[in-house]
């Protein structure tokens, strides 16, 4: 590793070798030699003003990483490196010393050389030997480490900051109070307001003269924080006889200067003040107040005439004595504390006690004030005024005020006092308590907003000018004035009194308001009034007749019902009603006047629900009467109250209820069911005759009944007491036809029970009703019938098993016969095919005709055998479905086209339509062929010449819909269900004519069901039929991909078509 001296030496040598010009456009050998030499130099390479290469040595000098330098604009790199002074890429002086700042802000002095290499520029930086400032000026590092004052070194003449400690940097305004924002910059860039300032002139003088600048107090007023004061030394530093640097040592003395100036200002103020005091002291002797001056230790040095008159001591007697000893001064605080206060703030005021020469004690209003003399000595000036009588008077007033306040405080009424300007003055305890929870503090806030509105007793709102305070302040005396205060939170009622108080000159001095909270009284009164109104309304509107009479028997109140019911409007005395009719008790005894209820009440008797039978000339009434006497506090009769009610209808209803009760009991006793009515405790209230016969003895409650028998449910499970129907009813359950089995004395009895609870108006259960019916005979009959049914069921099951076995044998026989038929049919068919293939052309036409007949009938027979086999498999549940994902449009169209020849033979228009071009679903194509060919075969069979058959594909309810519509003979309505049954035919004559067996559609339905679809038919006789098949619109997960779409036009489809259409002759 080379040191810096070796590096610089090699750089000088290489620079000489490279040449003195900026151009380096030579041979390849020159280029290779240049690259070899540059590998040991600090440089970076620039292309199109972008740094494209940086040497390792340059990274070490600058301390910046390669990423921080590469691919950056050259201008930005110079700004980052803070190269100066007066550095310009286009005017580089290779002999000039430039400074460059490393990443840690350490300054380095370098020479810069530029090599122009065609499209690239190489900038070589040579660090000067001994350029480190810490090496050149070791004392600077020591000064910078001492943060007592700001230390910085600048380059000259450009005045660029090269190095500074943090204290120095902190002097500047933001953001230049950080090193990274000011080092490497000129002083004019980071010192606020530098240009045109005294600081700029000082620096220019140093650059010009090279002389040191020192100042103990320098003012600078351009920082944002305002005026500052500085103690500074700027020392120029020379190198090789040239002025190159300047060391600045600066200390912020702003706080010290401001403190000194403040002290100077205070000293000047004190000086002027003392001069004024001296002048005033000369005038003190003219004052009537007792004034004397003393030293801090108490020695009197001045005693004026007022002091002589007040205390009796002459000036000659007083001067030289200690004031507080001579006057026996009693201070309200310790003398040392007093002296401390005087020294601290310069003055003290208070009341002290002095004793005169004659021994009389005086209460003195005293002022102590410290005065500084010209010689620097402090004296204390005391000004004394006799307030003995004033204090006595104030004490008396205070005592009287306290007594008055005590009286006012203990008054229950709230008292408020306002001054002559209607401003609140004071309130007693009751007044403060009255509104302690309100949002305001006084009885009436006249100068601000209040949450209350004020109303008079009539409910009219009181304006501000008519408030009590305003009225009293105008001289009005208020007595017992009723007011109501209303807010959003409360309503208060007050009784208010107010009176003005005047001073000796007749001016209003106080307004006194006395108020009492009568809210509870008003509320009680209001409640009483409301209750009276309610009572009057109740009395007036009550259905009972109410009459009130006094001690003389004279009616004083009759309600509306009394006037209306007994024509009491004209009744004045209680005996008047006796004259209108005859009064009888319930036994039929006529009552005399003194025995009628009103007279008995007048005599002090209380009547409770007495019933009278009153006979008037035109009607009779039953009246229920209650009455009571009312007495005063002395126990004397005051009023009589009689309440009457017309109970004629009630009496009639009672009679009716009695009759209904008798009828009810008669009905219960004729019922063939045992009926029980019991209360909440389980006690029997009513039992009919049938119930009594069933119990055979007397039971008081349901528990007795339970204990006398053993109770089971219909399944034979024993029932607990809590599960008895009666107790379930009492829990609120309704029982309907519960069958129970009772064992009483070993005898088994079956009953069917029903029960229901009865509720009162509050929803509480009051009674329970239970009915039971003996069904023992019915149960026994049912058991016998059940045994017979079980025997019959066993017999039927045996017959069914035999029948199923016979059907199974029949299906096996049909299957066997069908297989046996297929073997010769296949042989015949093969022989016919061989003849057609090998020698058909050699046969005569008649032989060909017979051969075709043989082939046709072979297909017909094969079709019959296939259908029998398939229907047998279907009945046995052995239809095998093999689904694949196939295009239903392609299959349907191919099948339709395969039977086109048969349709053309009968001159039938066969049409295929589809709502979509392609639709892949999971389907068994072989079963689908059989289904569609069968439907098309039937359509062609039963469609007359010249008509049409349409096959249509569509989507219906997320299913694929296949419709086969013909214009044939149609199907009668009563035959639509038959056609899908085995061997079911519409018309045997037609079937015979069309060579049908009735198996096809039954097999079609089974195939459709096996494909998870359904088939239906719509038909009109003589117009045609439409068969609709709905298949799932879904695909299946195939284990292996199929080898493409099957060719439905192969031999299988042709053969199947020939078989299915063998009944149609071409």
How high is the mean pLDDT of the chain? 80
| Residues 1035, 905 within the same domain | yes
Tokens representing 794?
């066993």
pLDDT at 808 over 70: no
Provide the pLDDT for residue 397: 80
Q: Which residue has the higher pLDDT, 589 or 17?
A: 589
Q: Which residue has the higher pLDDT, 189 or 22?
A: 189
Q: Are 482 and 516 in contact (CB under 8 A)?
A: no
Least confident among 248-262, 802-816, 836-850, 982-996 = 982-996
The residue from 652, 682, 712 where one domain ends is 652
- Cβ(651)–Cβ(622) under 8 Å? yes
- What is the reported pLDDT for 679? 85
Domain boundary among 127, 157, 183: 127
Specify the pLDDT at position 871: 64
Residues 462 and 509 in one domain: yes
Asked if residue 400 belongs to a domain, the reply is: no
User: What angle in degrees, to the nearest 10, is found between the helix axes of 845-875 and 776-839?
Assistant: 150
130 has a pLDDT exceeding 90: no
How far apart CA 366 and CA 294 sit, in angstroms, is 14
Beta bridge partners of 768: 678, 757
Regarding whether 182 and 162 lie in a shared domain, the answer is: yes
User: Are 123 and 139 in a shared domain?
Assistant: no
> 96 in the Ramachandran plot: left (φ > 0), alpha (ψ -120 to 50) or beta?
beta
Structure tokens, 442: 């006084």
d(CA 867, CA 528): 106
Query: Is residue 597 a contact partner of residue 610, using CB atoms and an 8 Å limit?
Result: yes
Greatest mean pLDDT range, 235-239, 591-595, 947-951: 947-951
- Would residue 41 count as lying in a domain? yes
Quote the radius of gyration of the chain (alpha carbons, Å): 67
Task: Work out the average pLDDT over 143-153.
Answer: 84
Instruction: Tell me: do 607 and 512 sit in the same domain.
Output: no
CA–CA separation, 190 and 175 (whole Å): 9
Q: What is the pLDDT of residues 254-308, one digit of tens each?
A: 989 889 888 888 888 777 766 666 666 565 666 678 888 888 888 998 898 888 8
Q: Is residue 756 included in any domain, yes or no? A: yes
pLDDT at site 988? 45
> Is the torsion defined by CA of 748, 753, 758, 763 positive or negative?
positive
Instruction: At 638, give phi and psi (nearest 5°).
Output: -120, -50
CA distance 1059 to 1066: 13
CB atoms within 10 A of CB 414: 22
- Is pLDDT of 968 > 60? yes
Q: Of the candidates 865, 868, 867, 931, which has an alpha carbon nearest to the alpha carbon of residue 896?
A: 931
Residues 243 and 202 in one domain: yes
CB atoms within 10 A of CB 245: 19
**Residue 959 pLDDT > 90:** yes
Tell me the residue range of the domain where 82 lies: 4-127
Residue 32 placed within a domain: yes
pTM for this predicted structure: 0.32
In the β-sheet with 747-759, what is the strand arrangement from edge to edge?
Answer: 684-687, 674-679, 765-774, 747-759, 735-744, 710-713
| Residue that finishes a domain, picked among 500, 525, 550 | 525
Q: How many domains does the chain have?
A: 7
CB within 8 A of 71, min separation 6: which ones? 50, 51, 52
Least confident segment among 259-273, 604-618, 960-974: 259-273
Cβ count near 156 (within 10 Å): 19
Cis peptide leading into 157, omega within 30 of 0?
yes
User: Cα-flanking dihedrals φ and ψ of residue 792, to 5°?
Assistant: -65, -40
pLDDT given at position 1031 = 94
Q: Is residue 788 part of a domain?
A: no
Residue of 1059, 1063, 963 whose CA lies nearest to 1018: 963
CA nearest to 1017, candidates 1006, 1007, 1005? 1005
Distance CA 18, CA 34 (A): 7
Helical (H) or strand (E) element with 52: strand 50-54
What is the mean pLDDT of the segment spanning 853-860? 63
From the list 894, 891, 872, 893, the residue with the least C-alpha distance to 883 is 891
Backbone angles phi, psi at 59, to 5 degrees: -60, -40
The DSSP call for residue 733 is: -
Specify whether 633 is located in the same domain as 761.
no
Between 146 and 106, the higher pLDDT residue = 106
pLDDT at 866: 67
CA distance 302 to 304: 7
Task: Identify the pLDDT of residue 659.
Answer: 82
| pLDDT the model gives residue 740 | 81
Q: For residue 175, tell me if it sits in a domain.
A: yes
- Answer yes or no: do 266 and 226 share one domain: no
632 and 715 belong to one structural domain? no
DSSP per residue, 418-454: EETTS-EEEE-HHHHHHTTTSSSSSS--SSS--S-EE
Confidence check: pLDDT of 878 > 90: no
Report the distance separating Cα 562 and Cα 127, nearest Å: 133
Specify the pLDDT at position 887: 93
The helix (run of H) or strand (run of E) holding residue 648 is helix 648-670
| Least confident piece of the model among 237-251, 316-330, 430-444, 547-561 | 430-444
Residue of 466 and 806 predicted with greater confidence: 466
For the stretch 730-769, pLDDT in tens is 888 888 888 887 776 667 778 888 888 888 888 888 888 8
What is the chain's percent helix, strand, coil content, to nearest 5?
A: 40, 30, 30
Domain harbouring 891, CATH code: 3.30.565.10
CB of 84 within 8 A of CB of 98?
A: yes
CA angle 720, 722, 723 (to 5 degrees): 65
Residue-wise over 329-363: b if at least 16 C-beta within 10 A, else e? Answer: bebeeeeeebbeebeeebebeeebbbeeeeeeebb
* CATH number assigned to the domain comprising residue 591: 3.30.450.20
pLDDT at 974 over 90: no
Residue 948 confidence (pLDDT) = 93
Averaged pLDDT, 393-409: 81
Question: Which string of DSSP letters, residue by residue, matches 517-550?
Answer: E-HHHHHHHHHHHHHHHHHHHHHHH-SSEEEEEE
Average pLDDT over residues 908-934: 90
Model confidence at 354, pLDDT cuts 50, 70, 90, reads very high
**What's the pLDDT at 22?**
43
Q: Mean of the pLDDT values across residues 186-201?
A: 90
φ, ψ for residue 791, nearest 5 deg: -65, -40
Q: How far apart are CA 624 and CA 611, in angstroms?
A: 4
Question: What is the pLDDT, as a whole number, of residue 486?
Answer: 85
Bridge partner residues of 372 (DSSP)? 378
Please tell me whether residues 957 and 1043 are part of one structural domain. yes
Residue 791, classified by CB atoms within 10 Å of its CB into exposed (0-12), middle (13-18) or buried (19+), is exposed
For residues 142 and 180, membership in a common domain is answered with yes
Sign, Cα dihedral of 464, 468, 469, 473: positive
Query: Rounded distance, CA 654 to CA 891, Å?
Result: 92
The answer to the question of residue 708 being in a domain is yes
Q: What is the pLDDT of residue 560?
A: 81
Q: Pick the more confident residue, 49 or 563.
A: 49
Give me the percent of the chain exceeding a pLDDT of 90: 14
Q: For residue 836, is pLDDT > 60? A: yes
Tokens of 446: 């006249």
Domain presence at residue 863: no
Same domain? For 288 and 271 the reply is: yes
Q: Which residue intervals of 688-746 are DSSP H helices?
A: 689-695, 702-707, 725-730
């Amino acid at each position: 590793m080379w040191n810096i001296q070796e590096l610089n030496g090699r750089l000088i040598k290489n620079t000489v070798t490279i040449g003195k010009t900026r151009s380096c456009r030579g041979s390849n050998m020159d280029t290779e030699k240049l690259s070899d030499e540059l590998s040991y130099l600090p440089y970076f390479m620039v292309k199109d003003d972008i740094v494209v290469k940086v040497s390792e040595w340059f990274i070490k000098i600058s301390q910046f990483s390669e990423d921080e330098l590469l691919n950056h604009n050259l201008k930005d790199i110079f700004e980052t490196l803070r190269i100066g002074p007066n550095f310009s890429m286009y005017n580089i002086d290779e002999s000039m010393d430039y400074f460059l700042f490393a990443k840690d802000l350490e300054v380095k002095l370098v020479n810069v050389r530029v090599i122009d290499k065609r499209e690239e520029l190489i900038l070589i930086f040579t660090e000067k030997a001994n350029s480190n400032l810490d090496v050149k000026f070791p004392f600077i590092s020591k000064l910078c480490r001492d943060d007592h004052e700001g230390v910085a070194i600048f380059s000259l003449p450009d005045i660029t900051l090269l190095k500074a400690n943090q204290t120095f940097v902190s002097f500047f305004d933001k953001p230049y109070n950080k090193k990274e924002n000011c080092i490497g910059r000129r002083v004019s860039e980071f010192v606020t307001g530098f240009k045109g300032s005294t600081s700029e002139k000082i620096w220019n003088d140093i650059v010009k003269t090279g002389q040191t600048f020192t100042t103990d107090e320098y003012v600078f007023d351009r920082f944002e924080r305002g005026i500052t004061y500085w103690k500074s030394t700027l020392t120029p530093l020379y190198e090789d006889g040239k002025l190159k640097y300047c060391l600045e040592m600066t200390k912020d003395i702003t706080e010290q200067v401001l403190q000194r100036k403040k002290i100077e200002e205070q000293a000047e103020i004190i000086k002027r003040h003392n001069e004024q005091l001296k002048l005033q002291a000369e005038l003190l002797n003219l004052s009537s107040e007792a004034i004397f001056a003393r030293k801090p230790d108490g020695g009197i040095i001045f005693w004026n005439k007022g002091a002589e008159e007040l205390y009796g001591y002459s000036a000659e007697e007083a001067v030289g004595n200690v004031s507080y000893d001579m006057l026996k001064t009693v201070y309200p605080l310790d003398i040392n504390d007093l002296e401390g206060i005087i020294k601290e703030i310069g003055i003290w005021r208070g009341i002290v006690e002095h004793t005169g020469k004659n021994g009389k004690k005086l209460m003195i209003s005293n002022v102590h004030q410290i005065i500084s003399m010209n010689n620097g000595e402090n004296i204390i000036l005391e000004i004394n005024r006799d307030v003995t009588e004033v204090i006595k008077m104030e004490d008396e007033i205070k005592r009287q005020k306290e007594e008055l306040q005590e009286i006012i405080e203990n008054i229950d009424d709230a008292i408020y006092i306002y001054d002559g300007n209607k401003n609140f003055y004071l309130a007693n305890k009751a007044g403060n308590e009255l509104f302690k929870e309100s949002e305001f503090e006084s009885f009436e806030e006249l100068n601000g907003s209040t949450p209350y509105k004020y109303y008079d007793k009539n409910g009219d709102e009181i304006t501000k000018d008519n408030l009590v305070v305003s009225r009293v302040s105008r001289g009005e005396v208020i007595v017992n004035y009723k007011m109501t205060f209303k807010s959003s939170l409360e309503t208060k009622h007050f009784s208010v009194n107010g009176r003005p108080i005047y001073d000796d000159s007749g001016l209003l001095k106080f307004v006194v308001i006395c108020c009492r909270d009568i809210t509870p009284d008003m509320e009680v009164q209001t409640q009483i009034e409301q209750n009276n109104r309610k009572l009057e309304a109740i009395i007036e509107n009550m259905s009972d007749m109410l009459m009130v009479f006094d001690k003389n028997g004279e009616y004083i109140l009759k309600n509306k019902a009394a006037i209306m019911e007994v024509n009491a409007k004209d009744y004045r005395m209680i005996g008047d009603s006796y004259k209108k009719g005859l009064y009888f008790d319930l036994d039929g005894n006529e009552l005399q006047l003194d025995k009628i209820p009103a007279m008995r009440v007048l005599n002090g008797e209380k009547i409770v629900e007495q019933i009278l039978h009153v006979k008037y000339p035109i009607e009779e009434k039953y009246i229920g009467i209650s009455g009571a006497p009312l007495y005063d506090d002395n126990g004397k009769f005051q009023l009589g109250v009689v309440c009457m009610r017309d109970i004629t209808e009630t009496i009639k209803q009672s009679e009716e209820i009695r009759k209904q009760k008798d009828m009810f009991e008669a009905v219960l006793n004729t019922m063939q069911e045992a009926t029980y009515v019991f209360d909440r405790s389980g006690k029997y209230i009513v039992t009919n005759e049938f119930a009594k016969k069933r119990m055979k003895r007397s039971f008081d409650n349901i528990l007795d009944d339970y204990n006398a028998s053993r109770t089971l449910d219909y399944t034979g499970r024993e029932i607990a007491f809590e599960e008895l129907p009666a107790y379930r009813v009492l829990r609120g359950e309704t029982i309907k036809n519960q069958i129970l089995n009772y064992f009483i004395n070993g005898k088994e009895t079956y009953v069917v029970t029903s029960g229901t609870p009865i509720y009162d108006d509050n929803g509480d259960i009051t009674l329970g009703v239970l009915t039971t019916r003996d069904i023992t005979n019915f149960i026994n009959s049912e058991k016998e019938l059940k045994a017979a049914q079980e025997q019959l069921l066993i017999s039927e099951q045996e017959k069914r098993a035999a029948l199923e076995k016979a059907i199974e044998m029949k299906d096996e026989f049909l299957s066997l016969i069908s297989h046996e038929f297929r073997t010769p049919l296949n042989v015949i068919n093969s022989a016919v095919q061989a003849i057609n293939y090998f020698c058909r052309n050699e046969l005569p036409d008649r032989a060909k005709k017979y051969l075709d007949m043989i082939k046709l009938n072979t297909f017909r027979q094969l079709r019959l055998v296939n259908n029998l086999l398939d229907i047998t498999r279907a009945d046995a549940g052995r239809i095998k479905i093999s689904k694949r994902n196939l295009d239903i449009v392609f299959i349907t169209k191919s099948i339709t086209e395969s039977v086109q020849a048969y349709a053309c033979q009968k001159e039938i228009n066969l049409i295929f339509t589809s709502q979509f071009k392609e639709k892949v679903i999971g389907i068994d194509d072989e079963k689908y062929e059989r289904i569609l060919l069968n439907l098309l075969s039937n359509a062609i069979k039963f469609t007359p010449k010249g008509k049409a058959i349409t096959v249509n594909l569509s989507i219906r309810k997320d299913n694929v819909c296949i419709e086969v519509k013909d214009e044939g003979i149609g199907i009668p309505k009563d035959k639509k269900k038959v056609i899908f049954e085995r061997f079911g035919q519409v018309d045997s004559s037609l079937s015979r004519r069309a060579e049908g067996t009735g198996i096809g559609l039954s097999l079609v339905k089974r195939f459709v069901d096996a494909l998870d679809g359904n088939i239906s038919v719509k038909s009109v006789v003589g117009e045609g039929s439409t068969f609709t098949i709905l298949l799932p619109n879904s695909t299946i997960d195939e284990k292996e991909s199929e080898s493409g779409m099957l060719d439905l036009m192969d031999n299988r489809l042709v053969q199947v078509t020939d078989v299915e259409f063998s009944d149609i002759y071409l």
